[in-house]
């Protein structure tokens, strides 16, 4: 199933007048406040977020998985799903693959399919947290950190294979997330595990093409419950530094202990030029991977405030790779991703409204109340007409969720793929 631009235009007609009124009202008042509205609209249109291949089917928990009808079961179908998301939102112009779940059979055909959907291949993800069929060694007690050289070598080689696959598709980065750690005190020697991880990462780094980046993701716990080798941003930062210039930290919003000041981590990493990638999601308790902005939208806005500051003031930091990292148990995965994309754009738009000069001035004057007012005024603005305008101008839907439902996308997918299709992967 593909979404036709003309049909979307037709759908948009209905809401156009009311959109125009809301947009004019908002932009008049923003212009009076000194905002450059066309610039904000451009920035929103340019902001593209990669969709992870594993978020297109229903996830599940260790208690079970309730599949969602019409799920994609092949790489081609996953790409078609991202194509649908991109057509509707004009914000999902990339897909992030997970190997071995998404190994292409015919590279040319896959690349052509991507072009036809106007999407590119973002970071490729390796998988050393599951044992693969016919694998010689097991990752039960770790992969890159393992005590056994043969196991480390297998894990390093897998990452090199993933780079090769990504290279053939035009990806420019590898994301490494390790499940390595220990479940009980005394199980592991912390120093040996960290040293082995460092050495293995260096081996992978050596295989990285010149124009590639290595993203090192951190996470405090799960699947291991006593210790994780790459537990926090400091460890990731240290490992990235030891690897070299092409290695960066990757922040996943769900990978922090409760109440961690993530925006400060973002600021620190950008100042040091080491924020490589970002995994968006939201959480209440742990690595919940739920819809972006559904639990802590103000925190998301504060994070975007630091991202905007960093993008404007830290030329030492490359433009970060934006990705969603989500998993859905009960919602239609595509609807959930549409909601996530909207929440990301909303936080970004609000952060773009902040008058950075005024904020700096208020900070210099130690006018704490004004500092807070500046942030909260931006946050309290309903920016949705800006998002709609950006989408409309790029040929997307004024309301992606409404269009998705009225075009009966899920019903069409079920018809084409059947009720019992199962996504490969998690």
Residue matched to tokens 């003309």: 6
Q: Is 282 in the site for Zn ion (CB under 5 A)?
A: no
Q: Which CB, 70 or 254, lies closer to ligand AOS?
A: 254
Q: Does 325 bind ligand AOS (CB under 6 A)?
A: yes
∠ Cα 52 407 340 (to 5°):
30
Residues 352-361: contacts with CB under 8 Å, at least 24 apart: 352/40, 352/43, 352/44, 352/308, 353/30, 353/35, 353/40, 353/377, 353/378, 353/381, 353/383, 354/305, 354/308, 354/378, 355/33, 355/34, 356/308, 356/309, 356/312
- Is 346 near Zn ion (CB under 5 A)? no
Smallest gap from residue 266 Cβ to Zn ion (A) = 15
Contact between 252 and Zn ion (CB under 5 A)? yes
Per-residue burial over 101-125, b if 16 or more Cβ lie within 10 Å, else e, is: bbebeeeeebbebbeebebbbbbbb
279: contact with Zn ion by CB under 5 A: yes
Q: Per-residue x/- mask for Zn ion, residues 365 to 404, rule CB under 5 A? A: ----------------------------------------
Minimum CB separation of residue 164 from Zn ion in Å reads 22
Measured distance CA(263)–CA(49) in Å, rounded? 19
- C-alpha of 110 from chain center: 22
Q: Answer yes or no whether residue 322 interacts with ligand AOS by CB under 6 A.
A: no
Contact 48, 91 (CB under 8 A): yes
- State yes or no: residue 328 binds Zn ion (CB under 5 A): no
User: Does residue 223 have a cis peptide bond before it, meaning omega lies within 30 degrees of 0?
Assistant: yes
Residue with smaller CB distance to ligand AOS, 88 or 321: 321
Cβ proximity to ligand AOS: between 12 and 175 the closer is 175
Stretch that binds Zn ion, among 114-122, 279-287, 304-312, 367-375 (CB under 5 A): 279-287
Question: Of 19-27, 36-44, 133-141, 249-257, which part binds Zn ion (CB under 5 A)?
Answer: 249-257
Ranges within 298-327 binding Zn ion (CB under 5 A): 325
Instruction: Give the shortest CB-400-to-Zn ion separation in angstroms.
Output: 24
Place of tokens 């947009």: 23
Dihedral Cα 98, 218, 347, 267, nearest 10 deg:
-140
336 binds, among ligand AOS, Zn ion, none (CB under 5 to 8 A by kind): none
Which residues make up the interface to Zn ion (CB under 5 A)?
Answer: 252, 279, 287, 325
Which residues make up the interface to ligand AOS (CB under 6 A)?
Answer: 54, 125, 177, 217, 219, 252, 279, 287, 325, 426
């Amino acid at each position: 199933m593909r979404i036709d631009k003309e049909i979307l235009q037709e759908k948009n007609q209905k809401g156009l007048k009311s959109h125009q009124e809301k947009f004019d009202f908002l932009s008049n008042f923003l212009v009076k406040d000194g905002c450059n509205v066309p610039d904000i609209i451009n920035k929103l249109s340019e902001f593209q977020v990669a969709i992870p291949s594993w978020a297109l089917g229903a996830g599940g928990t260790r208690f079970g998985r309730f599949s969602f009808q019409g799920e994609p079961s092949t790489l081609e179908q996953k790409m078609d799903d991202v194509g649908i998301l991109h057509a509707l939102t004009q914000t999902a112009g990339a897909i992030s693959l997970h190997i071995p779940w998404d190994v292409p059979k015919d590279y040319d055909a896959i690349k052509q399919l991507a072009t036809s959907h106007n999407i590119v291949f973002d970071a490729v993800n390796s998988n050393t947290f599951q044992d693969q069929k016919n694998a010689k060694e097991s990752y039960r007690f770790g992969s890159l950190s393992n005590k056994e050289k043969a196991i480390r070598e297998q894990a390093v080689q897998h990452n090199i294979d993933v780079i090769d696959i990504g290279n053939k598709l035009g990806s420019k980065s590898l994301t490494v997330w390790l499940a390595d750690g220990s479940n009980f005190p005394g199980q592991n020697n912390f120093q040996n595990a960290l040293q082995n991880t460092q050495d293995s990462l260096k081996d992978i780094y050596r295989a990285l093409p010149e124009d590639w980046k290595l993203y090192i993701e951190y996470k405090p716990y799960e699947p291991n419950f006593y210790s994780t080798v790459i537990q926090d941003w400091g460890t990731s930062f240290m490992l990235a530094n030891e690897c070299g210039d092409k290695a960066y930290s990757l922040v996943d919003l769900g990978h922090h202990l409760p109440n961690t000041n993530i925006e400060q981590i973002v600021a620190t990493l950008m100042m040091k030029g080491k924020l490589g990638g970002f995994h968006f999601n939201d959480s209440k308790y742990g690595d919940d991977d739920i819809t972006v902005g559904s639990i802590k939208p103000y925190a998301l806005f504060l994070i975007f405030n630091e991202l905007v500051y960093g993008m404007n003031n830290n030329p030492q930091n490359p433009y970060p790779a934006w990705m969603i990292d989500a998993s859905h148990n009960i919602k239609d995965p595509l609807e959930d991703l549409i909601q996530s994309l909207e929440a990301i754009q909303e936080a970004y738009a609000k952060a773009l409204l902040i008058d950075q000069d005024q904020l700096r001035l208020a900070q210099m004057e130690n006018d704490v109340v004004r500092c807070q007012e500046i942030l909260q005024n931006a946050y309290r603005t309903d920016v949705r007409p800006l998002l709609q305008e950006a989408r409309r101008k790029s040929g997307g839907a004024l309301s992606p969720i409404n269009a998705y439902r009225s075009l009966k996308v899920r019903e069409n997918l079920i018809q084409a793929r059947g009720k019992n299709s199962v996504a490969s992967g998690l």
